[in-house]
Each structure stands twice: as C-alpha cells, then as structure tokens.
Structure 1
C-alpha cells in the first residue's frame, strides 16, 4: 500500500508540473517579410496582435491569439495595413508562394476600394 501512495504522489506531481508547463506558453507570434522595405519603423496593432516592422522584417506578438481566422485571411488583414508581403508565417504555419500572392492581391483590392 505504501508503494501505491508513493507512485500516486509522483504521478500527481508529474501532472501538476506538466500543467504548469502548458500554462507558461509564450502566446502568439507571427512573422512577415515585406515586399518593399519600409523606410521607417512601423508599429500597428492588427486583430489584437502588435506588429512591428523595421526594414523588410516584421514580427507580430500577442499574449494569445483571439481570432479563428485562417492564415490567408489573417495575412490579408496585415497586408491591408502594412503593405504587400513576400512571406508570411503565423505560429508554425507558413504561407506558400501562391497563398502569399492571393493574400497580397485581395488586400490590394481592399485598399483600392477604400481609396
């Protein structure tokens, strides 16, 4: 019976430690490379994500991702604000070349419609 209690206590500690590891996740992180580098640093909040661009490199960070948009739709929102991109990554997902073209095309059409 003693061994069972000891094993149960160890198992409970392992579950507690694993739960703590999940609670310490870093949140959302996105990356984009602009098609044309910006001449000055840019900082914008888009869909709850703080985006910062310097030159052609952009990084987006948030404590957590609050929307359930697909990656291409998310990219379109970013492109509509910061301009066309050469590449786009959301978390572990990266857009293909054809998806990047679709993202840029739709966002440029949206910008044109606004003007």
Structure 2
C-alpha cells in the first residue's frame, strides 16, 4: 500500500496528494502533524530514503533555528527532535513498499508509484 506523509497546509504536499489521486492507485494518507511518527517509524522511512536524519530536517523552521541549529546533535537527538516536533520533517514523503521519496518537487513522487 502506498502511503503519503501529508501536511494539508503545505502546497507541495497538496500537489503530491493530487498526483497520487490522479494515479488511480490506492493509498493511505498519514497526517503526521496530527498523529506524530514514532522514532522507529521515522528510522524506517530514513532507511527507505537512504538518508540521514539531518537530511530530513526542515532547517528553516523556527523550532529548529531556536532549539537545535548549530548544536552538535547525534542521529538519536535529531530523531527525538522530529518525534517531538513533527513540523521539522520534510514533506511530503511517499512510501511504496520498499521505496520512498521526498516529493520535492512533487513530480518526483511518480518515481515510486
């Protein structure tokens, strides 16, 4: 089952959702700001994306700049930050079985569906 980690307030996430809707495939919408991801789920997504936790961070978010920027953070520290502040997670993320992609630009989503 295809899964999209979606933030309805984000234009890129809405564009990504539209691509999935137009694909005609079944998918699950995960509103990760409403129900934050657990660290284990974030780790699994990172493995599928083949990136580090820091690469999934939205570094222009106020919470990042005020609390984390410039600090020597471990992978675990960053995972905890994402779990505590899901707004820090880049979006949208689309997972299809053993493949995942960050939908920036949204057209990249077509690579995994």
Q: TM-score surpassing 0.5?
A: no
TM-score normalised by structure 1 residue count:
0.23
Structure with larger RCO (C-alpha < 8 A, sep 6+): 2
TM-score normalised by structure 2 residue count:
0.23
